[in-house]
Amino acid sequence: MTMPEETDVPVYGADSITVLEGLEAIRVRPAMYIGDTDIRGLHHLIWEVVDNSVDEALAGFATLCKVTLREDGSVRVEDDGRGIPVGIHAKEGIPAVEVVLTKIHAGGKFDNSAYKVSGGLHGVGVSCVNALSEWLDVEVHTEGKTHRMSFDRGVRRGDLQVVGDTTRRGTTVTYKADPEIFTTVEIDYEIVAKRLRETAYLMGTRGLTIELVDERTGTREEFCYPEGLLTFVANINKNKTPLHSDIVHFVKAVPSTENPDDEYEVELALQYTDSYQEVIHTFVNNINTHGGGTHLAGLKAGLTRTLNNYAKREKVVKDNETLPSGDDFREGLTAVLSLKVPDPQFEGQTKAKLGNREAQGLVESVISDLFGTYLEENPAPAKAIVLKAVRAQQARDAARRARDLVRRKSALASGNLPGKLADCQSSKRDETEIFIVEGDSAGGSAKMGRDRRNQAVLPLKGKILNVERARLDKMLGHTEIQLIISALGCGIGSELDLTKLRYGKTIIMTDADVDGSHIRTLLLTFFFRQMPLLIDGGFLYIAQPPLYKVTAGKHARYLTDESQLRSFLLDRGAEAVTIHDANADATWNGAELRELCTDLERLDKLGRDVAPAWARFSLAALLDRWNGTTLPTHWARFAGEDYFFDTHEEVAAFIDLQQATNSSLKVYAGPDSGFTPAEADAVVCHLAHIEEIVRILLALTQRGMRFQGGGSWEVRGGKHTATTTSLFELASLVQKSSQADVDIQRYKGLGEMDAEQLWESTMDPETRILYQVTLEDAIAADEIFTILMSEGVEARREYIEQHALEVTNLDI
């Protein structure tokens, strides 16, 4: 990568840091700064630190960003950029790195001298991470020295120290999220990998490599895409059939019309497929702008104008024919637009929508120019794109006629009801809801059991059309889809108008069997493809009908799944039985027994995930290594024997020792080893969840539970006693002990419930469980709907083969 001339590089020193306000409010109201304190907020901390490294790469000073998920639950992010300045800040009188870590809105991005573009203007950066961490360490490698500073919950532990000499440069931030703040501190590898992969696509042409290491499992990935958006689009379209083989790609820098000293950079990659959906992803300074904005408007306008001009000029569309609309020209389009903006104006803290007005004209101009050139130089793909739009227009005209027919048949405006819809009495959207139910049987129970004041019911007959495989005109000719559109009243696709939506909640209510899951999936496909604003606006829900009804005496309860049933039986059993360990002369009952069983169940579950399936690892072998305080974190099997280690280095030394006597020793460490475990002389792996397992073992030890040397336990209840030598069978025996006087009814479908049962279990707002449908990752959602619902059989087969072993509850 070419570095800027020294004379051209703006000074990035202590005085580049601008302080706007303090840090005190973050721990008090963390959701104001990171959205929430659940899984999303937890991962937002990683994005804040990574974005700093990415901004260094955008400025041309970093080529590497490495993210490590450490075994102790902490996260380390390191880069090879310039390093946060360590000089004394003129205004604050403390090192600039301390300012950055302890002051909200402090950084080098509030004037354009240090960074020309950045995504962090609205954010609170690493100061927020510092405030919400149990502890944070920062190391800055600059000018031949390593500087270190540490914090506890945002409070510095000591002064900035020089801890050694170095030839490195850059910043390393290591932190551990505070369990007092977050509901969970367990980092999800897949969430991190998806975000980093997306960032690497956007930064590929900038020479940035992103590494992700998970020390908990030994997983390591490197994301580096020198072709950037080209690879991004190719990956999105990998399960689709392209209309043209090449991917259109261009980059152009243009001066701002409002401030000539500022410069925008427009980068676009696009390809058309035979799909009926458009897939457009837009980014501003590497921020995913899910809500679109002015740059998206410019993209759409530029494409429509350019293709219309080409269609007229080349006579692909005759003079007396109507030109296709923008929607027609975008059918089957996959596009990724990345815009670099010197002073981005986002609408709201979430940065989901760009507000810079001049961006629209600049993007439209660039696309009209460069895409127009592509069409002229590539007549075959150009003609194919326009002809696809013409076919889309014809289908859209047919759909419009079908839609007009539906509207004429529907008399919603005059008070009549479409099809089998049982409407509610209230017309106030915010207090009403509609249940879309499966079949007339469940529909009849729902209609009788509902609250007629604010609950409407729409029964559907059979499975609706798979809209992933159907063009608009065919979709609108499907009776059940016509009913849904008419009942909701807000239109679909580009005509969707949320102000006309008739109900505040649209609730999908299907059976808990495989057919119900299929119908729910078809409905979700319809809403995702044709009514995505219902999802974005939080209007779409899934009902959770019960799987069980348990009756004890005169009291009945509804339970949604197996785990709730186990919990119910454990609660009852803990009050009725006693566990006795004859060898240790220990006894447990009541609340202590309930807590013990909960810990044992959790330990059993963790034990199944502690090592990969190919390792055929036994949790019992690990428990034999329990010394009262710690457990090993690595394991190997060699010559039929188990070996345990505390570090990766110990494993490497062990393997080296064995290879010293057998140079051809084959060691299996995962699917990338090049051979199967059966063909290996030794297998090794990192053991997961050790920290949580140790916490559980410590709690069980304090209650008097033993783990080594075998044992025998008695479960005593009334006149009955059961004996087991399996530690993990205890919870099951406690559950069984409580079943004698409990009637357990398992429901296979909604039709098995009468109106009163359906109301009590699934429709009563006071007791029911609803899941709100949200869209976390539009790219991943598009991919999974394409794989599972389109006509591509091979991609679907590969997905099923890859994920088959993850299924734990298969209904066949």
Dihedral sign, Cα of residue 404, residue 410, residue 413, residue 419: negative
Cα angle for residues 56, 84, 288 (degrees, 5° grid): 40
- Residue 718 exposure: Cα atoms within 13 Å on the Cβ side: 10
- The reply to whether 768 and 784 lie within a common domain is no
- Phi, psi torsion values for 522, nearest 5 degrees: -65, -40
- The reply to whether 52 and 131 lie within a common domain is yes
CA distance readout (Å), 210 to 79, 200, 232: 9, 7, 15
Dihedral sign, Cα of residue 21, residue 27, residue 31, residue 36: positive
- The reply to whether 259 and 312 lie within a common domain is yes
Contact criterion met (CB below 8 Å) for 487 and 418? yes
CATH (domain of 209): 3.30.565.10
Looking at residue 15, its pLDDT comes to 62
- Is 716 within a domain? no
State the Cα–Cα distance between residues 459 and 422, nearest whole angstrom.
9
- The reply to whether 362 and 479 lie within a common domain is no
- The reply to whether 208 and 258 lie within a common domain is no
Contact criterion met (CB below 8 Å) for 716 and 702? no
- Is 415 within a domain? no
Element (H, E) at 691: helix 690-702
**Residues 6+ away with beta carbon under 8 Å from 804:** none
Element (H, E) at 255: strand 248-255
- The reply to whether 45 and 129 lie within a common domain is yes
CATH (domain of 288): 3.30.230.10
- The reply to whether 116 and 14 lie within a common domain is yes
> In this predicted model, what pLDDT tens digit does every residue of 633-668 receive, in sequence order?
889 999 888 999 988 888 888 988 988 888 888 988
State the Cα–Cα distance between residues 433 and 540, nearest whole angstrom.
10
Looking at residue 282, its pLDDT comes to 94
- Is 216 within a domain? yes
User: Which pair of structure tokens corresponds to residue 668?
Assistant: 């299996």
Cα angle for residues 521, 527, 530 (degrees, 5° grid): 130
Looking at residue 436, its pLDDT comes to 94
- The reply to whether 183 and 236 lie within a common domain is no
State the Cα–Cα distance between residues 350 and 123, nearest whole angstrom.
9
CA distance readout (Å), 9 to 18, 82, 342: 19, 12, 17
- Is 745 within a domain? no
- Is 502 within a domain? yes
Q: In degrees to the nearest 10, what's the CA dihedral of 769, 774, 777, 783?
A: 80
State the Cα–Cα distance between residues 681 and 662, nearest whole angstrom.
10
> In this predicted model, what pLDDT tens digit does every residue of 715-755 receive, in sequence order?
888 777 888 888 788 888 888 888 878 899 888 778 788 89
Looking at residue 805, its pLDDT comes to 44
- Is 50 within a domain? yes
Looking at residue 782, its pLDDT comes to 67
* Strand pairing report for 505-509 and 433-438: parallel
User: Which pair of structure tokens corresponds to residue 345?
Assistant: 């104006």
- Closest among 632, 637, 594 to 614, alpha carbons compared: 637
Question: Could you list the residue range(s) of the whole structural domain that residue 540 is in?
Answer: 422-546+753-775
> In this predicted model, what pLDDT tens digit does every residue of 23-71 receive, in sequence order?
667 888 888 888 888 998 999 999 999 998 998 998 889 999 999 998 7
Active site annotation includes 48 = yes
Contact criterion met (CB below 8 Å) for 474 and 465? yes
In the predicted model, residues of the chain with pLDDT beneath 70 are 1-24, 105-124, 348-351, 399, 401-419, 584, 708-710, 777-783, 785-788, 790-812
* Strand pairing report for 634-638 and 682-686: antiparallel
- The reply to whether 152 and 21 lie within a common domain is yes
User: Which pair of structure tokens corresponds to residue 488?
Assistant: 């909701």
Facing residues of 741 across strands? none
Domain final position from 166, 197, 223: 223
- Catalytic one among 24, 48, 752, 798? 48
Looking at residue 385, its pLDDT comes to 94
- The reply to whether 766 and 788 lie within a common domain is no
DSSP state of 477: T
- The reply to whether 301 and 338 lie within a common domain is yes
User: Which pair of structure tokens corresponds to residue 595?
Assistant: 């807590």
* CB-CB neighbours of 215 under 10 Å: 17
Contact criterion met (CB below 8 Å) for 247 and 233? yes
Domain final position from 401, 434, 463: 401
- Is 618 within a domain? no
Prediction pTM value? 0.66
Dihedral sign, Cα of residue 279, residue 283, residue 287, residue 289: negative
Number of domains making up the chain: 4
- Phi, psi torsion values for 764, nearest 5 degrees: -70, 115
Looking at residue 759, its pLDDT comes to 92
SS3 245: coil
- The reply to whether 240 and 206 lie within a common domain is no
- Is 576 within a domain? no
Element (H, E) at 722: strand 720-724
